[in-house]
Chain A
Amino acid sequence: MFTILEKILLITFLSSAISFFLYHLYLRLSIVFKGKGSFDFDNLISRLKRLFDEVILHKKVISKQRTIVGFLHLFVMYGFIFFGLITLNHFLIPFDIKLFSPSFKLNYFYFVGLPWAILCLIGILGLAYRRFFIKPKFLGEKSKTSAVVSLFIFLLMITYLYDELHLWNTLLQYKINWWLHSFVIGSFLFLIPKSKHMHLVLSPFNIFLKPFDNPNHAPVPIDLEASEEELDNLLLDLSRLSKNQALDIFTCVECGRCTEVCPANRGGGILNPKYHFILDLKKPMLENQDVNVVDKINVEAGWECTTCQACTEVCPVGNQVEKADEIRSFQVLSTGDVPQEYQKLLMNLQETGNTEGKNSSEILKELPEYTAEKEIVLWLGCFAKHAMDPNFIKSVRNFTKILESASISYGVLSNEQCSGDPANKLGDKLTFQLLMDQNVEALKGVKKVVSMCPHCVVNLQKEYQKYHEINYEVKHHTQMIAELLEDNRINITPGSLEKVTYHDPCNLSRTLNETEAPRKLLQASAPNFFELEEHGKDTLCCGAGGALWWKKDTGEGRTHLLRAEQVIQSKTDTVVTGCNFCYGMMNQGIGPLTPSNQEKIQVKDIADIVAENLSN
């Protein structure tokens, strides 16, 4: 059927397409492997499960807000997968190699090929319609590659059906159809590596290799006694991405969901994670053939980030998007370029060990001091110690009330320094280290720590481990109270509060992976509580993260008001939260934003609502 010429043409075409594809894949992978650190293969079972969930079950692609789109994409992806065998068979035809029996092929057609061709067509037409007619903002500008790909997939399905349904009459028609199909597939191989369609190849690997910690920024250990050469190496390193980050950039499918959920972007800022944290870095990486591209991240955008990890949470191809840590560290440590309002904050931390520049703390004096006989250290954090929202002191007292009713002995450390979270998030790793080293010393011999501030927990638990050997266990207070409830050391009777909702703090729900403990407690004390639309791991950051609490009065934009607005719109009477910063932001936002015909919403911490409903 096929002439020698045709076979030679086919082989030439295919081998050049495959070589092209492999070459560009190799180029990119070699850049990835220049990245810092190494890929992790720990927890293989969890990794495989995650791979299954996100790729096979498409759990992230088919999210609540994007169910239809998610399914359309599912059809296309499965179409591709199932067409693997069909494509193989297709290219063996000119060489008269028959791998499958006619009956197998027939069955495959009826049960797999035909249904999936139709579904795939529906999928690709639906997606093309959305991209070119509905034009969602976050997909970005008109994409020529997408147009071509849509056309390609469409043609592939059509040519397949044309062939299988025997719509051809002459050999010529058959061959034209066959060559068209082959041309499209070969062209695909030319198209994929330099476009976002690389995600086809890379995303399963990227998802598999994605670190479990979120965020997962590399520590920056600074030795003040280091030589000039060592210091230069450290600074050079700051400009380099990790292997995971480099792979992320080549895997990015440009869907724009990261930007869509970003609180800074939604608040009117310039930060656009899709470009600033990912795509802006692609070309420089390819030009340098290296990963030293941190200085290409837009600095202003970097300072706007609340580090809430919503971008990473929503990414369907396994990217850890946020790179504020990297650009900020670069700015602070290499250049000394820090916005003025943050300079004061960092100086306060250096001078007084707390963010507010204070020399003493009222609540610290009130609470019992920790001694070795006490069960746990109650880690207060700067927010509580210096009454950054004076109302929160009540919540601290409510928490101690809960501890006392469960007969838990606790104490505070008089030499507690700031956990260092603001310095860490701002990129001032030196000040962070100063505070961390002091705290690790103060915590020597301590076994258990509990804190009401998720930022403190994240640092004491996860960040400190990157630099020191940690021998204590840290819990968030909601986790501790939930345990007490489960162990029957406290009892809660449901209260009479109507219309209660819960705001998930981003550090708690995403970084610490904790959405259940607060809900158990809410269920027990206010069983009628309802969920906000963006809840759990999809929560919308209150706007105080990334040290932005200290910029909210001087900055522009509405990042710090978005969540308060949502809470008001939910028409709840009470909003409960599990983080002192969220608590403070709710109080700050709710006052000015509540319309005059609405009652002001009450803000409570989990400790408040539990303490109010404690029973014996």
Chain B
Amino acid sequence: MILVVLENQRGKIHPFSVESVVAGQKIAKSLNQPLSILCVGDNIDPIHESAKQFDCSELILASHPLLKTYSADGFSKIIVDLIKSYSPKYCIFGHSYMVRDYVPRVSANLSIPFISDITSINLSSQNIQFSKQVFNAKLSSRIENESTNGCLLSFQSAAFSADELIKGAPEKVTNFEVQLSDSDIRSTTEEEFQESSSGVDLSTAELIVSVGRGIDNQDNIPIAEELAKVLGAELASSRPVVDMGWLPPFRQIGSSGQTVSPKLYFALGISGAIQHVVGMKGSKNIIAINKDEEAPIFEIADYAVIGDLLEIAPLLTEELRKR
């Protein structure tokens, strides 16, 4: 069977997990295998509720009070036990920070491979081929599983789109008895906290106006703010703008900031360096304005505007206000 593990992010299913369900559904179909989806954590009722909409053979519930706070020891033990129980051909995750932290433990414990951060799959080959980016995304590699004892997979954000999720209902729901004791968990984890005082979660924004270094000057930031306001969009930026102190850190998008996949990502004066792109390439539509026609952002943009954002953006804002 194929097993997909859902991650609990503060009471909701982590968006990456939802996308990994899509992967699971495709792989299960291709291999003609039943698909099981795992809800794991302490209070998993909210997750369970949402997961009931996924089309799959089985919904497995694994809860335990000791899973209330994350620990690599705890979570890896659960997954190890589950895999030993179910022997899935593939055990699938979204490539989140948590998965990076504990899934390798499962890999080493069971001596099964963990193919991580997958961007696409080729189901038509004899052995499924998984692609991932290498050498700073200058190249990609195709990887195959050589183990007969199962394989762990994690998918990069936006490798699959939640739009492709096959809705339905699980055929059955199973409770898995979790064997976990205090002595299994060696670490002591404290409460999660945020450093910047803001509740803005850009990852749920539908429309984003984002600025990069092309904004040139702190005094020009209002140009982007006004456009965002008139569009009803959230304001975001690339790292250099935050480093200069022109916008607060929570607005940063990229590998060291937030990951977003809005309906529209309006990139103003952003060059498109990979550290930024990994945070927004899942956007459904990208309009990029940049003076430099060689800017890498144009490779992933849907609409490329080669021009001066300091002229175009205010004009656009004005026109939008008139409507």
Interface residues of chain A, those whose CB is within 8 Å of chain B, are 553-554, 556, 591-592, 596
Contact = CB atoms under 8 A, between A and B. Distances in A.
A596 B315 CA distance: 15
Contacts of A596: 311
Contacts of A592: 216
B6 to A, nearest CB: 40
- Determine chain A's interface SS by DSSP, over half rule: loop
A312 B34 CA distance: 80
B244 interface: yes
A598 to B, nearest CB: 14
A435 to B, nearest CB: 28
A556 B311 contact: no
Nearest to B245: A556
A591 B243 CA distance: 23
Nearest to A596: B311
Interface string B232-273: 000000001001100000000000000000000000000000
B244 A556 contact: yes
A553 B244 CA distance: 10
A581 to B, nearest CB: 21
A268 B290 CA distance: 28
Contacts of A554: 243
Interface string B197-225: 00000000000000000001000000000
Contacts of B240: 553
Nearest to B216: A592
Contacts of B243: 554
Nearest to A555: B244
A213 B240 CA distance: 40
A432 to B, nearest CB: 30
A570 to B, nearest CB: 22
Interface in B286-323: 291, 311
A393 to B, nearest CB: 16
A342 B262 CA distance: 37
A160 B311 CA distance: 70
5 contacts: A553-B240, A556-B244, A591-B291, A592-B216, A596-B311
Question: Which A-B residue pairs are the 6 nearest by beta carbons?
Answer: A592-B216, A556-B244, A596-B311, A554-B243, A553-B240, A591-B291
Nearest to A593: B216
A567 to B, nearest CB: 18
A358 to B, nearest CB: 15
A556 B240 CA distance: 11
Contacts of A591: 291
A558 to B, nearest CB: 10
B322 to A, nearest CB: 23
A591 B240 CA distance: 19
A592 B240 CA distance: 17
A553 B243 CA distance: 11
A69 B291 CA distance: 48
A556 B244 CA distance: 8
Nearest to B243: A554
Contacts of A556: 244
A603 to B, nearest CB: 17
A553 B240 CA distance: 9
Interface in B150-208: none
Contacts of B311: 596
A554 B243 CA distance: 9
B293 to A, nearest CB: 13
A591 B216 CA distance: 11
Contacts of B244: 556
B12 to A, nearest CB: 37
A592 B243 CA distance: 20
A596 B314 CA distance: 14
Contacts of B216: 592
A592 B215 CA distance: 10
Nearest to B244: A556
A553 B216 CA distance: 11
A208 B291 CA distance: 54
Contacts of B291: 591
A596 B244 CA distance: 25
Interface in B112-157: none
Interface string B41-75: 00000000000000000000000000000000000
A441 B291 CA distance: 45
B242 to A, nearest CB: 13
A596 B216 CA distance: 14
A254 to B, nearest CB: 35
A169 B256 CA distance: 88
A596 B243 CA distance: 28
A591 B311 CA distance: 14
Contacts of A553: 240
The interface centre, meaning the residue of A554, A556, A591, A592 with most chain B CB atoms within 10 A of its CB, is A592
A553 B291 CA distance: 17
B55 to A, nearest CB: 50
Nearest to B213: A553
A36 B243 CA distance: 42
A596 B312 CA distance: 13
A591 B292 CA distance: 12
A596 B307 CA distance: 14
Nearest to B214: A592
A471 B240 CA distance: 47
B307 to A, nearest CB: 13
B238 to A, nearest CB: 13
Nearest to A592: B216
A556 B311 CA distance: 25
A450 to B, nearest CB: 32
A591 B310 CA distance: 13
